[in-house]
Amino acid sequence: MPEFCKVERDGHVTTITINRPEVMNAIHPPASAELSHAFDAFVADPDARVAILTGAGEKAFSAGNDLKYQAAGNKIEWPATGFAGITQRFENAKPVIAAVNGFALGGGFEIVLACDIAIASEKASFGLPEPRVGQAAMAGGMHRLPRQIGYKPAMGMLLTGRRVESREALALGIVNEVVAPHQLMTIARRWADAICECSPVSVRTTKRVALEGLSHASLREAMSARYEAIAELVKSEDYVEGPIAFAEKRKPKWKGL
């Protein structure tokens, strides 16, 4: 059994909980390794369609890198999939929802940025304070934040290390929704269930193409490019089932194939 994370499966939804509340869910290499294994299992499971990632306790989603562990002289090695097993996981086509229950700072915020959707508690706050301790947001924050909220708002956070509370995070586009703390997991699950109502093939195609399209400099180039995922979609059984179910006025019977 993992020591630093918890994994629960309910239907097509996998919930992964960072489980180090005594250190505000800070991530050290052993925790990263466990989280990487948890995401490996989620990606490999054909029946798992969506993951919800959250933190144990009420104070923190994750306070980021465990600096005390690092300062103690412990060896620092991260898995190939990146910090918390997610920040370098570029090949995962399944959606991941961050349910941010408290502080998401440094690497904790970079984990949120690596997710596809983020739901925040009213008590949540976000920031990349690495420059204040002689570090830098090297788990993707320096690249993902400008792409997700725009250059100047991102640099305002990156260069000062300032925190933003949940409502400002919503206005900036960092999160999709802000909810009362007791509603957080319910609303995150509602988003997950809405995704599960859609064709698994269509969802995977949409995520893959959206991410691959960002590598093109212009909209014209992105729309003109050829995507393997689209070729797979049009050959799938779901591609046929969707229009038939619509015409017959019934719910589709998705096979994810």
| H or E element, residue 195 | helix 184-196
| Architecture of domain 5-196 in this structure | Alpha-Beta Complex (3.90)
Calculate helix-pair angle for 107-114, 141-149, nearest 10 degrees: 50
pLDDT classification of 71: cutoffs 50, 70, 90? confident
The single residue of 34, 58, 91, 110 carrying the catalytic annotation is 110
Of 227 and 133, more confident: 227
pLDDT one-digit tens code per residue, 193-240: 999 999 999 999 999 999 999 999 999 999 999 999 999 999 999 999
Residue with tokens 């570090």: 135
Average pLDDT score over residue span 49-67 = 95
Q: 257 pLDDT exceeds 80?
A: no
The whole-number pLDDT of residue 48 equals 96
The single residue of 130, 168, 177, 212 carrying the catalytic annotation is 130
Q: 70 pLDDT exceeds 90?
A: no
Distance (Å, whole) CA 146 – CA 108: 17
Average pLDDT score over residue span 101-116 = 97
Burial status of residue 41 (CB atoms within 10 A of its CB: 0-12, 13-18, 19 or more) = middle
| H or E element, residue 95 | none
The whole-number pLDDT of residue 169 equals 98
The whole-chain average pLDDT of the chain stands at 95
The whole-number pLDDT of residue 73 equals 86
Q: Closest by alpha carbon to 11, among 47, 59, 53, 57? A: 47
**Annotated catalytic, 110?**
yes
Q: 74 pLDDT exceeds 90?
A: no
Domain boundaries defined on the chain:
5-196, 200-247
**Annotated catalytic, 3?**
no
Distance (Å, whole) CA 211 – CA 84: 20
Angle at 91 between CA 194 and CA 205, to 5 degrees: 45
